[in-house]
Structure formats: structure tokens, C-alpha cells
Amino acid sequence: MTTCKQCGVELEDEMSLCPLCETPVNDSTSKDVILQISKKEIPEVRKKDVLQLILWQITAVLLLSGIVATVIINLSIQGSITWSIYPISICLIVFSYASLIVLLRTRVFFQVLAAWVVSALVLVVVHWSIEADWPLLIALPILSAITLIGLLMIFLLTRLKAKGLNILAVFFVCIAGLCLIIDGILSFYFNKVVELQWSVIVAACLIPVTAAILFMYFRTKNNTDFQKIFHT
């Protein structure tokens, strides 16, 4: 009977790994474990990366097609780029976020932050090119609000110990907060004062829905029969 080289526990002859510390019994076992990892785990990671890259390529083609189509229509009708600057800006911002989130190998926080910086530069260029104030006074604040709400939602979801209907509740709360911020930004731009209007109605509608979802979540949290029904 052999013993483990790491912890000294006695091993059976047919054992390939130590039951206590999971150390390989011999070099051949170690090679087998490495081969198993290379055959199972690594291809799964590569498959995920390839899928993300394919989705990014499809997104890039669709956004580029949208930009070209809107520019052609705008030029053919009015002879210059006027209203098409809005979809062009949106497409470039979406492309910035999609590209940096997929291609930048770092934490989600830094990916989103880098995408926000690039998108802000896009809005600055649009501001200089058309000499309008909406890219910096409307678009940039709304983009910043969406980015902050998105990061907050990611933070809250990663801190949830049990995930179920509470994810939907967090989503609705973030949507309500985002609507309030956007309404405030728009009202301040046009009226020079913050007057919340439509966002209050949206938030008031989402509050009872969120309360009902949370009630269902806590009611079914410890009930296995309801967990099977609601997948919580």
C-alpha cells in the first residue's frame, strides 16, 4: 500500500488521486489529469470565445449596414447629413460597447468604463462636426446614466446569494431609476429646471409590480414545489 507524497495518507492500489488533498499518485496520473483538462475545459472556453466573436462580427455588420443605409437615404433626399447623425451616433456608441466588452480581456467594470470613454469621444467628435449642443448636454448625460445603472445592476446581481425572481425585481428597480434620471436630464435641458413627468408614472407602475415579484420570490424561496414551477 502506497502513501500520498503530499499529506502522507494511505492509498489503495487502484487510486489515481489522493482522497484527502487530491494530489495525483504518480506522474502518469498527472499527465492524464492535464489531458482531461485540455480535452474538456479548454475547448469549452474557446467555444465561448468563438461564439462571442461571431456575435460581435454580426453586430458590427448590422450596425455598419444601418449607418450606410441611413446616410444614403439622408443624402438622396436632402443632399446632406442632417437627421442621420442621430442613428449614426447610436450605432457608433453601440459598436464601441460591443467591441470593448467582447475584445477587451479584463473585468466587466473596466470594459464598460473603457466603452464609456470611447463613446464619450464619439459624442465629442459629433459635437464638433455639427456644432450642436445635444451630444454633450443630452446624449452624454443619458449615456453616463445608462452606464452607471448598468454597472449598479451588475454589482447587485453578483451579490445575490440566491438568484430567481429577485433578478427581475432588481431589473425593474433599475429601469425605474433610469427613467427618472432621463426625465430629469431632458426637462433640465429644455426647461432649465428638473420637472419629473412621465418617469413618475413609469416608476409608480413598476413599484407594485416589483413588490409582487419580491413577494412571490420570498414566498417560494423555501418551497421546493413552487421552486420547480417558477424555476427559483
Give the DSSP H or E segment for 2.
strand 2-3
**For 203-225, what is each residue's pLDDT tens digit?**
999 999 999 998 888 887 765 44
Q: Three-class SS of residue 162?
A: coil
Q: Hey, what's the cell of 16? A: 489515481
Q: CA angle 227-229-232, nearest 5°?
A: 35
What was the pLDDT predicted at 39? 46
Averaged pLDDT, 15-26: 69
What is the residue-averaged pLDDT of the chain? 83
**For 85-126, what is each residue's pLDDT tens digit?**
999 999 999 999 999 988 888 888 999 999 999 999 999 999
Is the pTM here over 0.75, yes or no?
no
Q: Three-class SS of residue 10?
A: strand
Sign of CA dihedral 137, 130, 95, 116: negative
